[in-house]
Structure 1
Amino acid sequence: MSAPPGEDLVNQWESEQARLRLQVVEEDTEDWQRSPDFSGLERVGGVDLSFIKGDEVNACAQLVVLSYPDLEVLYEDSRMVTLTAPYIAGFLAFRETPFLLEALQRLERNQPKLRPQVVFVDGNGVFHYREFGLACHLGVLSGLPCVGVAKNLLQVQGVHKNEQHQSQIAALQKGGDSFPLTAASGKVLGKALRSSDRSCKPVYVSVGHKISVTTAVRLTHSCCRYRVPEPIRQVAKDATKALKTSKYRRPLKICHLWECA
């Protein structure tokens, strides 16, 4: 069992988050974002870092790029990596971002024409303890528009999975319906989105970087064939295949770091 992280490291990471948080842009910056049908958007990316439950060191860093609006896979990058940073709740980005950023940089070097115009991140953006989750961290460091999409509700800043929240979910009648995730301060940190008519369970969408929450929700819905947006769904499928065939395989459940923590 690894030793608990020191207070100095937590303070260092909090300071770094606060510094980078100032660079987050929570509004639309690209022409395609302002188009009703996202005209000009041709490539959407998805990233995730997955591991085999019970193994805190070896993980699979994944990047996929899909065409838009057809959502066909154009590019896949799958690498087994060794994690060095400890897991601390609220600081997942320091554990994952370096490997996801490396995947984007490899794509930029090897096939720059396939560089995604927006990246979906399996996790949260400004819907976070300090309004700087993984999608924000990756967005600021990569300079790319990023959207955070989480499958589970992070109970933070006055947002709780209570009766009111459940009744709001029940009121979502069709794919595309959403309601705001409002902090105790009154700020909207993201939205719960019913992403598909097929599923009544919402996903939780928040701004990562260089996109507004309204556009992020609209884009997420447009990329959903099922509950989870296709860039994230495809990256999860690829990760499962890679982990099952890697030398690190073992008969344990494959899961995402942010879900299993």
Structure 2
Amino acid sequence: MDPTTDINDSVKAEWELKQEQLKSKLVCEDVEIWQNEKELNSLCYIGGVDLSFVKGDDFNACACLVVCSYPDLQVVYSDCSHIQLTAPYISGFLAFREVSFLVDCIEKLKHDKPEYMPQVMFVDGNGMLHPRGFGVACHLGVITDMVTIGVAKKLLHVDGIEKDASHAEKIKQLTKGGDSFPLSGSSGKIHGKVLRVCDESSNPVYVSVGHKISLETAVDLVHRCSKHRIPEPIRQADIRSREFLREKYEPKLRKQPRVKLKKTKDTSGTPSLDARNCIDDDELDCVISLFE
């Protein structure tokens, strides 16, 4: 499948059916011993997965899995892999673009360092906060039989939940780390929670159940595992995947024909930069940024 082409209705229908089939196996309650411990004493390792993308490139990306020790949140395992995307991004179907690569990361960890298999996986994306109640965190959890939590930076509009004035006012009332409020839809169902992760960041995250965990435990764990706005395993996966792509692609850009910039004036007489011997606009932006 070409990630630059649109998906037709028959494929979407097939994907929706697959989501419904997997959703029947979804567990939305605490099932592990550590989840019922006040101080989570049996929790030793937590994981995070993330994909980073090359700007202006529909094919190349990096999948990263990070494992941190708990409760000190130190990275004990990290792996980045260059991947080539095979499906486009379509809202509501993120799993069909990303999950296969995340599963590969988990299988590699099982093979190379099984002693670091995490007891819970934080996923950069939504779980049950999803149009069909089965986002990428749910999808990954069910097919790997792992405890997963969805953590999103942006609100996905579901069941009448919108980022309106009322929503913004509720966010203002989150005054310290750990404060949260439920995301209740028009149906009355609670799809997730808005959480202010730490005192230092007023921007919240959107937490939802992935698999084999309750919403309350998921929210509590996201708060416990965050030094900054984003839970540490996801934050580290994001940092490392971006660095991987910089190391892989910036040297190639440096080998491109040098951008010759000379001062000119546009039709209004305003000084501007004229770029000669360039490739395309995206690559030009990247090359210029290297010299700023």
TM-score normalised by the chain length of structure 1: 0.94
Q: CA deviation digits over 1:92-111, x for unaligned, max 9?
A: 10010000001001111111
Question: How is 1:180-199 mapped onto 2 (pairs within 5 angstroms)?
Answer: 180-199=182-201
Query: Does residue 246 of structure 1 match 2:248?
Result: yes
Aligned to 1:81: 83
Question: How is 1:3-42 mapped onto 2 (pairs within 5 angstroms)?
Answer: 3-42=5-44
Aligned to 1:107: 109
What amino acid maps onto 1:245 in structure 2? Answer: E
Superposition RMSD in Å: 1.4
2-structure distance, mates of 1:53, 1:2 = 14
Note closer, same or farther for the CA distance 1:226–1:247 as it changes in structure 2 (3 Å cut).
closer
Q: Which has the larger radius of gyration?
A: 2
SS in 2 for 1:196: coil
1-structure distance, mates of 2:57, 2:75 = 29
Question: Where does the alignment leave 5 or more consecutive residues of structure 1 unmatched?
Answer: 254-261
SS in 1 for 2:209: strand
Cα offset for 1:5? 1.0
Q: CA deviation digits over 1:197-231, x for unaligned, max 9?
A: 00111100000000000000000000011111101
* Aligned residue-pair number: 253
Question: How is 1:141-160 mapped onto 2 (pairs within 5 angstroms)?
Answer: 141-160=143-162
Mean Cα displacement is larger for which, 48-57 or 202-211?
48-57
Aligned to 2:120: 118
Cα offset for 1:247? 4.1
What amino acid maps onto 1:122 in structure 2? Answer: D
What amino acid maps onto 1:138 in structure 2? Answer: L
Question: Where does the alignment leave 5 or more consecutive residues of structure 2 unmatched?
Answer: 254-282, 287-292
What amino acid maps onto 1:34 in structure 2? Answer: N
**8 A contact 2:192–2:215 mirrored in 1:** yes
Cα offset for 1:183? 1.5
Cα offset for 1:87? 2.1
Question: How is 1:132-143 mapped onto 2 (pairs within 5 angstroms)?
Answer: 132-143=134-145
Higher relative contact order (CA 8 A, sep 6+): 1
2-structure distance, mates of 1:190, 1:243 = 32
TM-score normalised by the chain length of structure 2: 0.84
Aligned to 2:256: none
Cα offset for 1:53? 2.0
Q: CA deviation digits over 1:71-128, x for unaligned, max 9?
A: 0000011000011122221101001000000100111111111001000000100000
| % identical equivalent positions | 50
Aligned to 2:232: 230
Aligned to 2:275: none
Note closer, same or farther for the CA distance 1:2–1:234 as it changes in structure 2 (3 Å cut).
closer
**8 A contact 2:5–2:88 mirrored in 1:** no
